[in-house]
Chain A
Amino acid sequence: MSGSGGTPEPIARLVEQFHRLPGIGPKSAQRLAYHILRVGDDEAQALANAVLEVKRRIRLCSVCCYITEHDPCNYCSDERRDRSVVCVVEQALDISAIERSGGYRGLYHVLHGVLNPMDGVGPEDLRFRELLARVQDGGVQEVIMATNPSLEGEATAMYAAKLLGPLGVRVTRLARGLPSGADLEYADDVTLLRALEGRQAV
């Protein structure tokens, strides 16, 4: 079967594959496909290999569900980290953000999503089972819920508190308030309220 409008089938197939990627529209997909057509063989091979390697070599850490090549992951096997604190994030990328801040030396746990019943995401679709197992194994004294301050993130944090509370572990939530560089007049009531509650001496 040939592609639409006489496009050779392999190109049509590549366009189609690019189009499936997040944030890639039909035009970008075409541009990328025609770019691949122009590059040298080794460059194309390198891309193909990189894609395959990532699928072959990367898996989820059996402890924290972070993406890793070695199990357990670098964070989980780092002896200098504080093992009594676990910071729970929505997605693997959030760990880089927290690491960049330089203010955290504990362990992590990746949920791979937030509760969103409207879109059919319930607790069983997230990595709560693994989190529960970690806390049950002992040694964890505090679980920091670092899910986004959205409605779904808050609900996920509440769910975690309900799940882990009975085990005697301290469940905390990242503070909410005004981001640096913000305008007071544009802040919503809830954020302002939280900022007032969490005010500190100057």
Chain B
Amino acid sequence: MSRESRAYRTEGIVLRRRNIGEADSIFVVFGEERGKFEGVARGIRKARSRMRGHLEPLTFSRFLMARGRNLDVFTQAETVRSFPNVAADLDRWATASYLLELVDRFTVEHAPNRDLFHLLYASLESLDGGSAADLVPRYFELHVLALTGFDVYLDGCAACGGRLPPENTLVAAAAGGLVCRQCRPEAGTGRLLSVPAIKVLRHARRASLPEFVALRVPGAVVEELRAALGDFVRYHLERELGTARFVEELRASGSITAQNADT
């Protein structure tokens, strides 16, 4: 390895931290250029660490890294963008943690996915700007599925390709999307989506995030989408996400404000 390549610059959004040893932490970062990568930060848990605060989950930072034998080492870090309003609100923080975990679970290391990076950045920005905390994650789920190869098919029957009449329609994760009446027996488990819910989903596919979160969606419809998209996430990840459970707990304890109440 040549001398010049020992250190390099990069940037990304910090997804998670894992503490090791006395004062070190390993951070998982998702960057536009490099995709997901890990690095170790030495002494970061000491109060006088200069990187502390710049290397925290939920910050977009610029790093100077040094190649290490096993793990690369963070040698300098500087915050480019933090999301203070997300960090200062329990519901938004929980939702943002869910988005970070989705990215962590749906990606493999060293595989850049620029669109996904932009989606994550825009979603955190949107949450920070006060958008509906229950619409942002729905948009994110639909698009993270699409961007990682698990697109939800909405334009016809996912099994036979046939046209779908405007009626309550089955959506099944195993089939990969909406399923017509004839194909239902082979589609596996799923749930029925109402016509408004299907329309909102189709809109989410085409619209930009700001356009989508400006939408006024009735609570019952958001609830349908949450359940359906949650099915897809669980089906493809084959697990229940800890952050999803936490968001759910907060919601159950009546903390998530009524939809769009703060816009």
Contacts and interface: CB of A to CB of B under 8 A. Distances in A.
B145 interface: no
A115 B249 CA distance: 12
Contacts of B52: 188
A120 B97 CA distance: 11
A119 interface: yes
Interface residues on B, range: 20 to 34
A179 B84 contact: no
A179 B54 contact: no
B242 A120 contact: yes
Given A155-B90, A189-B79, A117 B245 contact: yes
Contacts of B246: 115, 117, 122
Interface in A111-129: 115, 117-123
B242 A181 contact: no
A20 B59 CA distance: 33
Interface residues of A, number: 28
A183 B50 contact: yes
B245 A122 contact: yes
A123 B56 CA distance: 21
A182 interface: yes
Contacts of B53: 187-188, 190-191
A136 B101 CA distance: 35
A150 B59 CA distance: 12
A123 B243 CA distance: 12
Interface in B69-125: 79, 82, 84, 87-90, 93-94, 97-98, 100-101, 104
A181 B79 contact: no
24 contacts: A117-B98, A117-B242, A117-B245, A117-B246, A117-B247, A118-B16, A118-B243, A120-B242, A122-B249, A123-B249, A150-B56, A151-B87, A154-B93, A155-B94, A158-B88, A158-B90, A158-B93, A182-B48, A187-B53, A188-B53, A188-B82, A189-B79, A190-B53, A190-B82
Interface of A: 22-23, 115, 117-123, 150-151, 154-155, 158-159, 162, 179, 181-183, 186-191, 193
